[in-house]
Amino acid sequence: MSDLTRKTAVELRELLDAKEVSAVEVATAHLDQIAAVDDRVHAFLHVDREGALDAARRVDAGEITGPLAGVPIAVKDVVTTKGIPTTAASKILEGWKPPYDATIVERLKAAGMPILGKTNMDEFAMGSSTEYSAYGPTNNPWDLGRIPGGSGGGSAAALAAYEAPLAIGTDTGGSIRQPGAVTGTVGAKPTYGGTSRYGLIAFSSSLDTPGPCARTVEDTALLHAVIAGHDPRDSTSIAQPVPDVVAAARLGLQGDLTGVRLGIVKEFTGEGAEPGVLAAFRESLEALVKLGAEVVEVSCPHFEYALPAYYLIAPSECSSNLARFDGVRYGLRVGDDGQRSLEEVMSLTREAGFGPEVKRRIIIGTYALSSGYYDAYYGQAQKVRTLITRDFETAFSKVDVLVSPTTPFVAFPFGSRTSDPYQMYLADLFTIPTNLYGGPAISVPCGLSEGLPVGFQIMAPTMADDRMYRVAGALESAVGTLTPPAL
């Protein structure tokens, strides 16, 4: 039989249903691939070989059934996993093993999906390249000298390196979609509140959204269906039925978009975007038109303020959320020699435990929330957020979805943007507006530029996740999937 690691989740499930392979064989194949290539990719921070094989044995014994039972998965290291290290790629949580599972992890286990391990990321999900991990960067399987995107570069790279058929990411400003774009994989940000944040180590609570990552649109939709749904433990969780994203993806794969209106955002003029990225986007748009879609230009005048608004709101919320890492209750504790005050121990712990990007954002956020500046910075940013939401609502009264490139550029070389935070932040130029609005968005591979993947972004109204999957499926039917080079 051909290499199991090259199979999609759908193909693996078909083989399992036909009893042609066992879940243990599938898990073992992926664990062996991790052992063979991860010294070069560094997608994983922790591999749970025994846990994955034990879960696979339970599927083989018939204890668990379901559409993804026996299909292995990698989980971003910002999602808590009981008894398995969860560090958020930070020294301040090095070695911490949570006493509980996140809701989405509970749902993965209930679905019979063996968890291969925890993937690398930018520390506390703050970054666009996975260069800010305290445990070293992840390398892009397309070119090991380039970044795999961020913050969820480990999950995307694991897919592109065939170390896992499915992965979990989180998206605060593009951290699922942007890595998907630069690694040639699919990444979806569900509607905010459509997937539970319980057990997610918080960065920006009004923006953080866990979501599915895969190599095909149908696989992504199947995983979305497993992890989505109301959770009473999450106060922001939406108590509504999950849209039928799987049926929508399969409908799209039939290649008919007759009557679907695609909105091109006038303000996304391509400024700062590479010519090759824009060319691949335009070619893909033409392919969707041939499938029956209509293209309409819409104006979203406040999108140009999304980047500065985001970089006030997200750091402000991070400043509040990361105050819990104080060296008292769990994680790293530095300087506790019996001579120092509690305040000194906290300061020393945070100095040693937080990396440069996390410190930068905490400082920005603390300043924006401080007395005398709150209204001028955080308050104003929230007003801009409201205007961006209204732009989306106006646009969606005219079109079914909005489309754009996912990122302005392809994967860049390591070190080329770390010295200039603003240039790094531009990686999320096209993805951030959706996070501020709260709607769903997906990145689908749409071609190559300079031999590297380009992503096509589809944005939909809140709780219309199925709408984006239909267009995503149609795009995949037209342009196909990308095959990373062999490592």
- Active-site annotation, residues: 76, 151, 175
Reading across the β-sheet that carries 44-47, which strands appear in turn?
Answer: 44-47, 115-119, 73-76, 166-171, 209-214, 186-189, 441-449, 452-459, 401-405, 261-265, 294-298
CA distances from 111 to 165, 188, 225, 341, 372 (A): 15, 20, 11, 48, 50
Q: ω into residue 316 within 30 of 0, thus cis?
A: no
Q: Which amino acid does the sequence have at 355?
A: G
Q: Which amino acid does the sequence have at 460?
A: A
Bridge partners, residue 169, by sequence: 211
Q: Which amino acid does the sequence have at 21?
A: V
Q: Please, which residues have CB within 8 angstroms of residue 149's CB and are 6 or more apart in sequence? A: 128, 129, 130, 140, 156, 178, 179, 180, 181, 182, 183, 407, 411, 427
Please state, as a whole number, how many other Cβ atoms lie within 10 Å of the Cβ of residue 429: 23
Torsion sign (Cα): 225, 231, 234, 237 = positive
**Residue 68 · residue 113 · CB < 8 Å:** yes
3-state secondary structure of 421: helix
For strands 261-265 and 73-76, give the pairing: unpaired
Please state, as a whole number, how many other Cβ atoms lie within 10 Å of the Cβ of residue 205: 15
**Residue 318 · residue 361 · CB < 8 Å:** yes
d(C-alpha 207, C-alpha 468), whole Å: 19
Q: DSSP string covering 153-181, please?
A: HHHHHHHHTTS-SEEEEEESSSTTHHHHH
136: left (phi over 0), alpha (psi -120 to 50) or beta: left
**Residue 112 · residue 66 · CB < 8 Å:** yes
CB-count burial class (<10 Å; 0-12, 13-18, 19+) for 286 = exposed
3-state secondary structure of 50: helix
Alpha-helix residue ranges (DSSP H) falling in 42-119: 49-60, 103-110
Nearest alpha carbon to residue 332 among 272, 12, 324? 324
Alpha-helix residue ranges (DSSP H) falling in 291-341: 306-321
